[in-house]
Structure 1
Amino acid sequence: MNRTVLFLSLAGALALTALVLGLPRGEDTQPTPHVVVTPPTPPTPPPTVFQAGAGGSIQVKSRLSHPYLPVGASETYATVDLTGMEVAGAKRSPVNLAVVIDRSGSMSGYKLQQAKQAARHLVTLLRDEDRLAIVHYGSDVKSLPSLPATPANRERMAQFIDSIWDDGGTNISAGLSVGRTQLASAMGGAATVNRLILMSDGQPTEGVSDEQGLKNVVRDIRASGITVSSIGVGTDFNEDLMQAFAEYGAGAYGFLEDASQLSNLFQRDLQQATTAVARNVELSFELPPGTTLGEVLGYRAHQAGNTVRVAMPDFSAGQVERVVVRLNVTAGAAGQSVQVAGLKLTYTDLIARHNVEDQSRLTAVATNIQEEVVQRQDKEATVYAARARGAQNLQKAAEAMSQGKKDAAQLYLRQNQALFMEAGNVAGAAAVAADQAEQAESMKAYDDADSEESQRAAVKSSKVKALKGFGRMGSTY
């Protein structure tokens, strides 16, 4: 082969290799500069969970179902969990307690026997520094004045309980008033908690009998510094009224179809009273421009201007309550932070013995990418919102059932099954398995309710489940 041809062939091969491998093809050829294009930095997402309250006796955790919101108008659910602080090694507080027992004619026999047994058991749980008043009512009211729970007085209390007999109508207002008077006579001593436990199996027939009037009685008792808990026994009492007593009284509500469980509920309420960590608890939402209130699910709320206030029960150590709120939010330009709501929790701290105010903010990020809204959805907050919405349907089902509309009641429960299936698509099937099982259990109870009494029991049971679904977990027995 000719040398010139060979040289040209080698040069061509080197040039081809340089082209393929990106090698320089000669000294006069400058390397192409390597340009790195940096994509714009996305906005920092808001924290999924905001925690506050480390300095007080209530821990606060708040979250949004949608921390990324679409540009324009949309809705999101805010969930706020409140937890009473556990106090390691703390001595339980003395309690000033009054037990108010319905002994009207409908309580005769087994119910009254169980109520007396529960009251006797409660007496055995008291300590010398505790105080107890015992009140029983029918048409009239009898009471044992508030006494320190010394051994001699505990014996006197047991004898008084044994003397209770069934008689007369149901004068709830008189029983509440005497209970309040007995508690007030002992206030100001060593006890920091003053608590009234009301038990009834029927509807008011004497004294103040209209619902608003009775609510006002309980509201006044609460304003005097006394917490009211209510326990309904059997299927004849007005569950909505008894729930309202607990709500206005900042206490707990319980429903017992069988009076044999009264001892457990009395003991549980005493435990809450003697481990109390906070009272006068109020959660408020401050709504900035662009946010409006949809609804507070399952709680009595008061809105004045841009502030929404929610009254909460007194808190004991470890008690958990949840508030779910539906908010309508208008988000601005993509990438901007969205101020959804300000939160404020105020209460009297019974551990530190001073008033506490915790404040925080719920924020989101605006986006014009729908997939981002879906992918960033908070799983737990979505389940909590589904439970609160399901609780609304459960209440509607109970109302329909109370009117004998079984088909309508079951329709609400089927809507809940679809609602939890939707939440399961976000959070996973395991996250809502218990909720779906509970709906199936309620459906079966409605199917099996073939008598007026069983229908009333199903209604009351559904309303208890609804309270827990709304988030009233610690204040519902």
Structure 2
Amino acid sequence: MNKTVAFVSLTAGLALTALVLGLPHMAPPHGATPVPTPRPATASNGSLTMTSRLSHPYITPGTSDLFVTVDITGVEVPGSKRTPVNLAVVIDRSGSMSGYKLQQAKQAARHLVGQLGPEDRLAIVHYGSDVKSLPSLPATPGNRERMLQYVEGIWDDGGTNIGAGLHTGRTHVAAARGGYTVNRIILLSDGQPTEGITDDAGLTQVVKDIRAEGITVSAIGVGTDFNEDLMQGFAEYGAGAYGFLEDAGQLATLFQKDLRQAATSVARGVELSFELPAGVRLGEVLGYRAHQAGNTVRVPLPDFSSGQVERVVARLTVEGTRPGSTVDVTGLKLAYSDLLKDAGVESAASLSAMVTERREEVLARQDKDATVYATRALSAKNLKLAAEALRDGRKEEAKGYVIQNQALFQEAGTVASPSAVAADLAEQQAVLQDYEQASDSESVGSAVKRTKARAMKSFGKIGSTY
């Protein structure tokens, strides 16, 4: 990137501060009584609770940019009630997995087998250039012993045929799908696809087709050589979770976490939609795939487990008219299949803003939490840009995006409080230090993947990013 383009990018990043804050920061008049922030809207008709709020519940006449933040939370199930699961673990055994990584993958698979009971099913798939598998079996004591013996026989060999591994996992899970409400593939890879389907679009379509059959896909990347954008896409289109591990020794923990998430599922087929009234325009839904048809914007979300939280942040442009009037900002609908009720459920809410000529009232009523959430989502955009710049060898440009984020959080701290953004500022400083220490291809690769995983959480993919 040349200096002119870099300067434009930096300027655009700094302009995000104005979007988050909406107005220049002004202290309330001395001695004035603090004005309470309007309460967020909460709706729940089933196993998911939707809590929504506006960054600016009060706006001035004319055009205003504001942010809608929506938190979706899975109900806490007492004792985390265990749901039987139908799983396939799909393990990369290509040559690059040789040695420690494959040993740890096998240990993680053994640990997974030990967590299952007779009501669960498991297929074990391993792929290199070819694919081999142990078909889906109920995890009875005898079959668990058979599974453990099968895991011992996995060896490293060949290229990386991810598509064939996914196809085989799909076949085994689909064969037993009818008897289960939770059907899931856990994919593990440490490298780039080199055989079979190798293009991102083709592999993503494989995952879309798997999801269309009601099977969830979680994707775990190990090391510094895998395509994190592709694996993150697998998790997003597969409605599962994404995990990045530098050390394969943590695989057993991650497999257990994904099993726990699958086994405490409370909702699937989750979709959040925004209904935009006349005069309201969508700027963007930050970090999520969104589909707009007319005035309706649909955002697909992952399957939810007990206690899982995900957040969606959207930027809208609203026209304020007569002072004292109320402007409808958006209607919200959360639709999903409730696994505890065994029924389809919808929850709805609406958000509106009051128009005022008093700028100090806009400031006084600004939602502090929504401002911080929006700043995090905006910072995630910069983190993705920073990761790409670092990967391409533009380290100073990458650091510039992170410095922009520090400015964003400092400004947000003037609205919320310094303590509200202290952890965010510390995280941005840790990213800068990470970049300073990235001096070779492996450390750069690790820093890029760590940054993109941080970005996913900052966008609001909290429970679906390990």
The TM-score with structure 2 as length reference comes to 0.92
Q: 1:105-157 deviations in whole A, cap 9, x for unaligned?
A: 00000000000000000100001100000000000000001000000000000
Equivalent of 1:95 in 81, 85, 94: 85
Taking the aligned partners of 1:330 and 1:45, their CA distance within structure 2 comes to 24
Alignment match of 1:130 (pick from 120, 135, 139):
120
Return the letter of the residue paired with 1:49: P
Tell me the distance in 1 between the aligned counterparts of 2:381 and 2:458: 9
Does the 8 Å contact 2:186/2:218 carry over to 1?
Answer: yes
Structure 2 unaligned segments of length 5 or more: list them: 1-34
Counterpart of 2:221?
232
Secondary structure in 2 matching 1:205: coil
Q: Deviations over 1:289-317 (max 9, x none)?
A: 11000000000111111111000000000
Residue 172 (structure 1) aligns with:
162
Which residue does the alignment assign to 1:467? 456
Tell me, in whole angstroms, the C-alpha distance in 2 between the residues paired with 1:171 and 1:313. 26
Shift of 1:358: 1.0
Q: 2:280 aligns with which of 288, 291, 300?
A: 291
Query: 2:96 corresponds to which residue?
Result: 106
Percent identity between the two aligned chains: 67
Give the distance between the partners of 1:72 and 1:141, measured in 2 at CA: 61
Report the Cα offset of residue 48 of structure 1.
Answer: 2.7
Is 1:455 the counterpart of 2:451? The answer is no
2:297 aligned residue (308, 323, 328): 308
> What is the match of residue 14 of structure 2?
none
Amino acid at match of 2:347: D
Counterpart CA distance in 2 for 1:89 and 1:314 is 20
Q: Secondary structure at the match of 1:208?
A: coil
1:51 aligns with 42
Distance 1:107 1:384, change over 3 A: same
Distance 1:108 1:88 in 2: 42
Partner Cα distance (1:75, 1:67) in 2: 12
Deviation at 1:383, TM superposition (A): 0.2
Distance 1:46 1:359 in 2: 22
Q: Distance in 2 between matches of 1:267 and 1:91?
A: 16
Name the aligned partner's letter for residue 135 of structure 1.
V
- Secondary structure of residue in 2 paired with 1:394: helix
Shift in alpha-carbon separation, 1:433–1:46, aligned structure 2, 3 A:
closer
Query: What amino acid maps onto 1:230 in structure 2?
Result: A
**Cα distance, 1:91 vs. partner?**
3.2
2:138 and 2:296 mapped to 1: Cα distance? 44
Alignment of 1:61-460 (within 5 A): 61-89=51-79, 91-189=81-179, 191-460=180-449
User: C-alpha offsets along residues 37-68 of structure 1, whole Å, 9 cap, x if unaligned?
Assistant: xxxxxxx9994300001x20000100000000
Letter in 1 for 2:163: S
Q: Distance in 1 between matches of 2:368 and 2:130?
A: 54
1:26 aligns with: none
Mark the structure with the bigger radius of gyration. 1
1:376 to partner: Cα distance: 0.8
Question: Match for 2:129: what amino acid?
Answer: S
**What letter matches 2:264 in structure 1?**
T
Amino acid at match of 2:272: L
- Secondary structure of 1:188's counterpart equals helix
CA distance in 2 between counterparts of 1:118 and 1:75 reads: 48
- Aligned residues of 2:37 and 2:365 also touching (Cα < 8 A): no
- The separation in 1 between residues aligned to 2:36 and 2:225, in whole angstroms, is 52
Shift of 1:225: 0.7
Tell me, in whole angstroms, the C-alpha distance in 2 between the residues paired with 1:69 and 1:214: 45
AA partner of residue 343 (structure 1)? L
Question: Quick one: higher RCO (CA 8 Å, sep 6+), 1 or 2?
Answer: 2
Paired with 1:474 and 1:91, the residues of 2 have a C-alpha distance of: 18
Where has structure 1 moved over 4 Å in runs of 4 or more? none
Contact 1:45 1:67 in 2 (8 A): no
Q: CA deviation at 1:186?
A: 1.0
Displacement of 1:370: 0.8
Contact 2:52 2:69 in 1 (8 A): yes
Distance 2:169 2:256 in 1: 19
Partner of residue 28, structure 2: none
> What do the CA deviations read for 1:201-250 (whole angstroms, capped 9, x no partner)?
00000011100000000000000010000000000000000000000000
The answer to whether the 8 Å contact 1:46/1:363 transfers is no
TM-score for the superposition, normalised by structure 1: 0.90
Q: Check the 8 A contact 1:395/1:463 in 2, yes or no.
A: yes
CA distance in 2, matches of 1:451, 1:134: 36
SS of match in other structure, 2:177: coil
The answer to whether the Cα contact below 8 Å between 1:201 and 1:233 also exists between their aligned partners in 2 is: yes
CA distance in 2, matches of 1:185, 1:388: 40
CA distance, structure 1, for counterparts of residue 346 and residue 435 of structure 2: 45
Distance 1:154 1:355 in 2: 35
Secondary structure, in 3 states, of the residue corresponding to 1:86? coil
> Hey, what's the Cα distance between the residues in 1 that align with 2:389 and 2:36?
44
Is the 2:37–2:366 Cα contact (8 Å) retained in structure 1? no
AA partner of residue 124 (structure 2): I
1:242 aligned counterpart, secondary structure: helix
Distance 1:390 1:424, change over 3 A: same
1:45, 1:364 within 8 Å by CA — same for their partners in 2? no
